[in-house]
Structure 1
Amino acid sequence: MSCAEEGRFHTVDVSSISRGPRRAILRALDGVPIEAFHEPCSAGPAATAIVVAHGFTGSVARPALRRAAGVFARRAGVVTFSFRGHGRSGGRSTVGDREVLDLAAAVEWARSLGYARVVTVGFSMGGSVVLRHAAVQKREGRTEARTDAVAAVSAPARWYYRGTAPMRRLHWVVTRPVGRLVGRYGFRTRIHHRDWDPVPLSPVESVPLIAPTPLLIVHGDSDPYFPLDHPRMLAAAAAGSAELWLEAGMGHAENAADEALLVRLADWLVAA
């Protein structure tokens, strides 16, 4: 798995569309087709679009993502999409590496819809992707793929973490042939068999590159995948430029985000 040219993003090859609901197939820089859905703000025309990046084994159609999108749509337009290897998108999952290209295509599409501001929020694997995307587009100055604010929920701080039982199971799914079969048929996720080469910029390495773009880090104190040293490490790397929310009783990612938290997230993203 490799993203050797992380900073080069492909302009989406869809025609200009209305602000109403719309499904589209986007194309990432490396040619992988990405399914996406635009949901307009239910309160009327909005200046901001929220692009939502799901967690590993998620998709645009999963109930937890649709629930989050419905809450966000009360405050802003919403673009959801399936990462490569997930849902009806093409390709195979690289578990956070080339997925930055998928997010870039979704951000560019949101901008093509005419929104004045486009912000990103990612859950778990998607959280690591929004951090890397924000860092890369800031470094490369790609205005059409830029994000105006970024929120990472339940994101890891570092790669290859195996300190919890759920993460050890996840690594088995990703790294073993039998595990990848389980991923394909049990979780409907197609996983690439190659190792990362080179290893992509880690989330904690990405965070210092994001400022002055507003950054929010959200994590539950009951997360079974990543303990609290992960969000604290990310916040420390931001050197005071990030806001940190530690949520009492919250588990992991979009499945654990209740409506009250989703409303707060939407409010922060719109106002940031």
Structure 2
Amino acid sequence: MSCEPEGRFHTVDVSSITRGPRRATLRTSDGVSVEARHDPCTGAAADTAIVLAHGFTGSLDRPALRRAAGVFAQSTGVITFSFRGHGNSGGRSTVGDREVLDLAAAVEWARSLGYARVATVGFSMGGSVVLRHAATHTGSTGAHTDAVVSVSAPARWYYRGTAPMRRLHWLVTRPAGRLVGRLGFATRIDSREWDPVPLSPVEAVPLIAPTPLLIIHGDSDPYFPLDHPRMLAAAGPAQLWLEKGMGHAENAAGEELLRRIAQWLSVA
């Protein structure tokens, strides 16, 4: 086993022993350390990687994300990572703002591993991040994405129309809530308000074309009702899948849906 620096990426390489995962610590452009993992395709060699962006209070080691990674790894390489303030990553969560830089570092790492094509798939907060990342990292910068899938994402900021979202706002905005986030959910939340307010997901969508975009949302999502995905899909060229009986984010994404996403990405 060897440890080797790769520019801003410090990897732990076990490929000489097994075709199993490779762990890395990535450095974002604003200096935050982000834990990441590469799972190679378990089938034939693939030239495409999918970068998975988890939801708020998630991490790369959570069972739902590992399940999704396992399904996608049957046909592509997979990069998972923990957003800042989550898991073993440094920094504090800004709940979708500077997390775009975390995703950009993960996409750059995927390309440094030799993947010619990199797609992004995000859930909930991660769903908003993949939209904003695709809108702000364009061209051939090395951090750009070739296709985008946003699952269970909000269309607009500050939404409090459901009980789960009111609880989330308490978690983020109150000192007692941030303490619960740290102790109960292992999520370290920045106490500062957004300044300036970042580009919203619905504002980001028109800037993504011509990159292929798929919006997915469950009709039983307890966080965001169906006006959110419809607003996103109407904002620019996008396909919209409304999933019957589906709840919220990676916990609700079953294997059948994940396989359909992989199929869509293979031809997008």
Given the two structures, how large is their TM-score scaled by the length of structure 2?
0.94
- Residue identity in the other structure for 2:100: V
What residue is the counterpart of 2:257 in the other structure?
Answer: 261
Work out whether residues 75 and 267 of structure 1, in 8 Å CA contact, stay in contact via their aligned partners in 2: no
Structure 2 distance, partners of 1:196, 1:270, is 37
- Residue identity in the other structure for 1:43: G
Work out whether residues 34 and 102 of structure 2, in 8 Å CA contact, stay in contact via their aligned partners in 1: yes
What residue is the counterpart of 2:108 in the other structure?
Answer: 108
Q: 2:247 matched to 1:251?
A: yes
Aligned sequence identity (%): 78
What secondary structure is seen at the aligned counterpart in 1 of 2:137?
helix
Structure 1 distance, partners of 2:20, 2:151, is 28
What residue is the counterpart of 1:162 in the other structure?
Answer: 160
Structure 2 distance, partners of 1:49, 1:142, is 16
What residue is the counterpart of 2:141 in the other structure?
Answer: 143
Structure 2 distance, partners of 1:180, 1:15, is 32
Structure 1 distance, partners of 2:83, 2:263, is 25
Work out whether residues 16 and 113 of structure 1, in 8 Å CA contact, stay in contact via their aligned partners in 2: no
After TM superposition, list the pairs within 5 Å mapping 1:65-84 onto structure 2.
65-84=65-84
What residue is the counterpart of 2:3 in the other structure?
Answer: none
List per-residue Cα deviations over 1:178-235 (Å, max 9, x = no partner).
0000000001100000000000000000000000000000000000000000000000
Structure 1 residue runs of 4+, over 3 Å off? 11-20
Structure 1 distance, partners of 2:102, 2:262, is 22
Work out whether residues 111 and 118 of structure 1, in 8 Å CA contact, stay in contact via their aligned partners in 2: yes
What residue is the counterpart of 1:197 in the other structure?
Answer: 195
Given the two structures, how large is their TM-score scaled by the length of structure 1?
0.92
Give the aligned CA root-mean-square deviation in angstroms: 1.4
What secondary structure is seen at the aligned counterpart in 1 of 2:142?
helix
Task: Check 1:20–1:270 CA distance in 2 against 1; reply closer, same or farther (3 A cut).
Answer: farther
- Residue identity in the other structure for 1:129: V
Say how many residue pairs are matched: 258
Structure 2 distance, partners of 1:56, 1:28, is 19
After TM superposition, list the pairs within 5 Å mapping 1:7-46 onto structure 2.
12-14=8-10, 21-46=21-46
Structure 2 distance, partners of 1:264, 1:12, is 34
- Residue identity in the other structure for 1:244: L
Structure having greater relative contact order (Cα 8 Å, sep ≥ 6): 1
Work out whether residues 11 and 24 of structure 2, in 8 Å CA contact, stay in contact via their aligned partners in 1: no
- Residue identity in the other structure for 1:24: A
Structure 1 distance, partners of 2:110, 2:20, is 12
Q: 2:143 matched to 1:153?
A: no
After TM superposition, list the pairs within 5 Å mapping 1:186-225 onto structure 2.
186-225=184-223
Deviation at 1:142, TM superposition (A): 5.0
Deviation at 1:20, TM superposition (A): 5.3
Deviation at 1:270, TM superposition (A): 2.3
Unmatched 5+ residue regions in structure 2? 1-6
After TM superposition, list the pairs within 5 Å mapping 1:227-246 onto structure 2.
227-238=225-236, 241-246=237-242
